[in-house]
Amino acid sequence: MAPEQAAPLLCAGVTVYSPLNHFGFNQSGLRGGILGLGGVGHMGVKIAKAMGHHVTVISSSDKKRQEALDHLGADDYLVSSDNVKMQEAADSLDYIIDTVPVNHPLEPYLSLLKVDGKLILMGVINTPLQFVSPMVMLGKSFNLFTLTIYFFNATTSQHILICVLIKCRNVLSRMNFSNTAFSFLFIKI
Measure Cα distances from 132 to 123, 136, 180 in Å.
19, 8, 33
Closest CA to 50 of 180, 181, 168, 186: 168
Q: What is the pLDDT of residues 84-117, one digit of tens each?
A: 999 999 999 999 999 888 888 888 898 898 888 8
Question: Dihedral of the CA atoms 38, 43, 48, 50 (nearest 10)?
Answer: 150
142-161, pLDDT tens digit by residue?
333 344 444 444 444 444 44
* CATH match for 3-187 among 3.40.980.10, 3.40.50.720, 3.10.110.10, 3.30.530.20: 3.40.50.720
- Single pTM value for the model: 0.73
